[in-house]
Structure 1
Amino acid sequence: MQTKLIKLLILFILLSGTSCRQFLDYFDEVKPVQLIVKDYASGLLSPSGMVLDARGQLWVSEAGTGNNDSRISVIMPGGKVYTAIVGFSSSIFDGFPAGITHLALKDGVLWILHSGEGKLYQAEIATFKPGDSPLKANDLPSEDVGTFVKAYNFEHDTNESNLFKITVGPDDALYIADAAANAIIKRDKAGELSVFANIPGIKNPTSVGPPMLESVPTGIVFDGQKFYVTTFLGFPFPADKGIIYQVDLKGKVSVYQQGFTGLIDLDLDLDKRPVVLELGTFGEQGPKPGTGKIIRASGKQQRVIIEGLNMPTDLVKANLRTYYVNSLTDGKVLQVTHP
């Protein structure tokens, strides 16, 4: 009995002196745990983005097959898939389907980015029940964000727009990572658009390609005080040079951590520190299958949580022990669980 009390006291001291996330890190170092990875849902049409609602339902954007079949599905707890919204346009671009990209959810409204159209759609889903007749994209209100971006006079202007990732920030404003303009676009509660931040490029560390490489913003998340932004470096896609930036509420950009390859998305752990997703390494034929990773980026440290993922593009934290990650090419959503 005395031994048990001593163990409980030690556990209490550890928990009171550290956060839950830090305690799990300590536990894993002392006794490494094999994470459980399993298929959660399959049969999806190039799933690209995900968002979790308060009922534990996972809303998934699907880019489609290039035949105007981009859509939104909702996955119930347990993995059963229902079609929720249909009729978004889709096409093939550089060998991959291009349609709707990523999602954000706020107060029963699903915000949907469409890169090809340059539009921001909104869908009222608070009363939608899985199994109801799917909503139609043509019936949804939308806003033209792409035209604003392309008309804006950036210092380093690409004259292009690719609405890729979206998150909710202070005062219910929406913040969009534009992966062609290399900028963060702000849409305030009234619907007014502005350029919130520009993401700087880096000097090319190789002898191949241009002298400067674009830092393409791919993921954005708000921790209550600042934003974290993941970036994907342009050709020749050098390994271990990718950067996580932090952006304050005035749009000032600074480096949080660097040394990544093919950053594509991120979420926050319970300590509000970035957990990032790498698409994978690149070869002569493009992304190498099965080289995606989930990495915890804490301070100056990087810790691989899991590797061997195939073309992941979105990461969602469900709770302390569970994450969801997609596979664009396999048409799947995987569940990653800490036992």
Structure 2
Amino acid sequence: MKTSRTFWLSLSTVVLVGWLVACNEKEEVVPEPEQLTAANFADQLRAPIGLTLDTKGQLWVTEAGTGKNDGSIVMITPQGTKTTAMTGFPSVIANGAIEGMSHPLFHDGKLYVLHGVSGMLYTIDVASFKAGDAPLNISTAQKEDLGTYIRTLKLTDPINSNVFDLVVGPDGNLYIADAGANAIFKRDKATGKLSLFAKIPDAGTKIEAVPTGIVFDGTRFLVTTLSGFPFAPGNAKMYQITTDGTVSEYKTGFTTLSHLTLSKNNKPLAIQMAEFGATGFQPLSGKVVNEEGKVLLPSIMMPTDIERSGNREFYLLSYALGTIQKLTY
């Protein structure tokens, strides 16, 4: 009898300890940010356009370079160590800006990199690449021509294509936002075949939408738009797209949205690139905003990418300054 009582007391203790551990391991309830604090993380990047995080917390950054066919990919460790992973991508100077590279995406040990000027998708196996390694040879990257097919659809007048951002959808296919064709394309994971998924409406009479960022929140795709010239205040929008390609407005009243990410709660946070004035895009007029337009971080210099790296942490890239900041709240 004594043995039985001791056994049941021991079992009760184990159950109680297990319950307490389970309670302590419950996922933290993370509030939405009300404001963000910025700290410098990396600098001396050459016209960086986009960034993506891998499973080790390393950043992969696309650099447009100097306009002399020197676009590149840089890997940055969580400690800030930079290593050039691949270089030699085409880059040109057009309309006073350095163009070529677009956004990258890390998925399953591979880096998918869009190149807007040439309309190419590069696929690079970076699973074994580490800090300090010599750059990978660009000839080892798989290259797919997306732009030729997109231009045959004649979605704009004049015909245009600028593959700019991409995300993996719930079906495992890549979904690609084209800032020139004002459309989203689906690339089949098995065959590589490209097809039109959704067309983004114009921002006004003879004002193009210019989609710049795409994410999937678990239910739908969300897309940001820059809007075309004259980049009027309040003319940029967030669109939502169902998994069958139906497009509708999600939030409106933004200005020159250049990218977006999702909070821990799958709420979109977007970046305003800049306000446009008589002399062009105004310095330090970029912002991080939530889906209601509330400013979470003001006075940013031409941001072009934002990625969440933790429950309360983000990385923010500045194309103009060549910097990455770590944002927290």
TM over 0.5: yes
Alpha carbons 1:243, 1:260 under 8 Å: kept = yes
Tell me what 1:77 maps to.
Answer: 78
Structure 1 counterpart of 2:167, which letter? Answer: T
Q: What is the CA–CA distance in structure 2 between the aligned matches of 1:137 and 1:46, rounded to whole Å?
A: 19
Count of matched residue pairs: 303
Q: How does 1:164-175 map to 2 (within 5 A)?
A: 164-175=164-175
Q: What is the CA–CA distance in structure 1 between the aligned matches of 2:306 and 2:202, rounded to whole Å?
A: 24
Deviations 1:16-71 (A, max 9, x none): 9xx834x455xx5xxxx7x4312111111101000011111011000000011100
Tell me what 1:213 maps to.
Answer: 207
Instruction: Give, in angstroms, the shift of residue 303 of structure 1.
Output: 1.9
Tell me what 1:112 maps to.
Answer: 113
Instruction: Give, in angstroms, the shift of residue 327 of structure 1.
Output: 0.9
Structure 2 unmatched runs, 5+: 1-25
SS in 1 for 2:171: helix
Q: What is the CA–CA distance in structure 2 between the aligned matches of 1:157 and 1:192, rounded to whole Å?
A: 25
Alpha carbons 1:157, 1:181 under 8 Å: kept = no
When structure 1 is superposed on structure 2, of 131-140 and 51-60 the one drifting more is 131-140
Q: What is the CA–CA distance in structure 1 between the aligned matches of 2:297 and 2:238, rounded to whole Å?
A: 19
Structure 2 counterpart of 1:296, which letter? Answer: N
Q: What is the CA–CA distance in structure 1 between the aligned matches of 2:327 and 2:316, rounded to whole Å?
A: 8
Alpha carbons 2:303, 2:319 under 8 Å: kept = yes
Q: What is the CA–CA distance in structure 1 between the aligned matches of 2:32 and 2:145, rounded to whole Å?
A: 44
Deviations 1:62-97 (A, max 9, x none): 000001110000111121211111111111011111
TM-score by length of 1: 0.86
Tell me what 1:314 maps to.
Answer: 305
Q: What is the CA–CA distance in structure 2 between the aligned matches of 1:183 and 1:91, rounded to whole Å?
A: 24
Tell me what 2:239 maps to.
Answer: 245
Tell me what 1:13 maps to.
Answer: none
Instruction: Give, in angstroms, the shift of residue 106 of structure 1.
Output: 1.0
2:297 equivalent to 1:290: no
Higher gyration radius (CA): 2
Q: How does 1:128-139 map to 2 (within 5 A)?
A: 128-139=129-140
Tell me what 2:255 maps to.
Answer: 261
Tell me what 2:161 maps to.
Answer: 161
Among 269, 274, 286, the residue aligned to 1:280: 274
Instruction: Give, in angstroms, the shift of residue 237 of structure 1.
Output: 1.1
2:225 equivalent to 1:231: yes
Structure 2 counterpart of 1:101, which letter? Answer: S
Tell me what 2:316 maps to.
Answer: 325
Q: What is the CA–CA distance in structure 2 between the aligned matches of 1:72 and 1:153, rounded to whole Å?
A: 31
Task: Rate the CA distance shift 1:212–1:20 in 2: closer, same or farther, 3 A.
Answer: farther
Alpha-carbon RMSD across the aligned residues, in angstroms, is: 1.7
SS in 2 for 1:171: coil
Instruction: Give, in angstroms, the shift of residue 157 of structure 1.
Output: 4.5
Deviations 1:199-230 (A, max 9, x none): 00133xxxxxxx33211101000112210000
SS in 2 for 1:221: strand
SS in 2 for 1:170: coil
Alpha carbons 2:81, 2:131 under 8 Å: kept = no
SS in 1 for 2:148: helix
Instruction: Give, in angstroms, the shift of residue 302 of structure 1.
Output: 2.8
Structure 1 unmatched runs, 5+: 1-15, 204-210
TM-score by length of 2: 0.88
Tell me what 1:334 maps to.
Answer: 325
Among 29, 32, 38, the residue aligned to 1:20: 29
